[in-house]
Amino acid sequence: MAERTPLILLPGLGDDSALWAHPVRHLADIADAKPVDITRHETVEDMARVVLDMAPARFALAGFSLGGYVSFAIMRTAPERVMKLALIGTSARADTEARRAERRAQIGAMGKPGAFGEYARRDLPAVLHPDRLEDKTLVTALLDMQARQGAPVFTRQSNACMARPDSRPGLGKIGCPTLVLSGREDRVLPPELSEEIARGIPDARHVIIEECGHYLPLERPHAVTALLRQWLIYA
């Protein structure tokens, strides 16, 4: 068997390794894929250090949403270690003041009993394609994943999102083969933000996945895995 590419997978806010179950399983012939826990730190820079401390000397990197913010921090810190980069449902921008205020309000409400579970259920129409809201298997998987993390992780990672810098000035310095994926109906981080990333990174490829909201790896796992396979082999 040919040597497999080390592939580091970074999840989004409140997510865990379950987010990456499909690519981990179906890329095993070509990639040694490792989802990384980034739930214990309050800045994207600290999360990036955790990844760099455990990763091999050279690796491919894929980040979803918050994982994309951490990926940008890795590219600022150690770009020479990243062989290939995939940015999925993310943004290079910093939070606006309005978004920070929204996050602070959400964090403030987490002290109430059952508040996090209520928030996760209420947030479903924002993060999933409308056609997937009746998919009980998908909805249960997403809510269970969020419940495993809970309010403390939500708070830490929300703080990290609020404090992250604007990564757009560094996009032109990214020199590795880059794949940018977005969901056509993503209401959290719309495709326009992915297009902005792809325009800024030399020779980046942007693919919009149809009939898909924010949670690309869960909503359209076969498409995401197929595109990652193509990126790993040919990019």
The domain that holds 212 is classified in CATH as 3.40.50.1820
- pLDDT of 209 strictly over 60: yes
Among the listed residues 118, 141, 117, 115, the one whose alpha carbon sits nearest the alpha carbon of residue 128? 141
Residue 173, pLDDT score: 98
Range of the domain at 217: 5-95+160-234
- pLDDT tens string 39-66: 999 899 999 999 999 999 999 999 999 9
- pLDDT of 2 strictly over 80: no
- Residue the block writes with tokens 């990243």: 82
CA distance 34 to 17: 9
The mean pLDDT value for 211-223 works out to 98
Domain membership of residue 51 (yes or no) is yes
Exposed/middle/buried for residue 124 (C-beta within 10 Å: 0-12, 13-18, 19+): middle
CA distance 99 to 226: 33
Alpha helices in the chain (DSSP H): 21-26, 44-54, 66-77, 97-108, 115-122, 124-127, 136-163, 191-200, 216-219, 221-234
The mean pLDDT value for 8-31 works out to 98
Number of domains composing the chain: 1
- pLDDT tens string 61-117: 999 999 999 999 999 999 999 999 999 999 999 999 999 999 999 999 988 888 999
Domain membership of residue 120 (yes or no) is no
- pLDDT of 1 strictly over 70: no
